[in-house]
Amino acid sequence: MGPQGKAGRVPALARGPVAGRGDSRPALIRRLSDFCGDTGGATAIEYSIIAVLISIMIIGGLTLIGPAIMNMLDQASAPF
């Protein structure tokens, strides 16, 4: 049948705003509202936050154990 329904007419929601009853908000407010309601990039942002947190943990861990590893390597190379 398709989106037109039984009578061959397009449903009211598919037609868009009716003349005279459209969105009366200013264009900037309307665009900001649309931008805030958009969830298209949410997954990418979540994955990037996870990657940043993992990177911070790796850097912190290496900073803590770095001096101990350097000391161990210095002791191992001392006899040579």
More confident residue, 78 or 41: 78
pLDDT at 80: 82
Q: How many domains does the chain have?
A: 1
Residue 77 lies in a domain: yes
Please report whether residue 38 resides in a domain. no
Q: Is residue 17 in a domain?
A: no
Question: 6-33 pLDDT, tens per residue?
Answer: 555 655 555 555 555 567 888 899 888 8
Distance separating alpha carbons of residues 73 and 50, to the nearest angstrom: 33
Q: Which of 28, 8, 5, 25 is nearest to 17 (CA)?
A: 25
Inside any domain, residue 2? no
pLDDT at 54: 98
Q: What is the pLDDT of residue 43?
A: 86
Confidence of residue 72 (pLDDT cuts 50, 70, 90): very high
As a whole number of angstroms, the distance between CA 57 and CA 77 comes to: 29
Write down the mean pLDDT value for the chain. 80
Residue 75 within any structural domain of the chain? yes
Please give the pLDDT value at position 76: 93
Q: Is residue 79 part of a domain?
A: yes
What domain range includes position 55?
43-80
Q: Three-class SS of residue 8?
A: coil
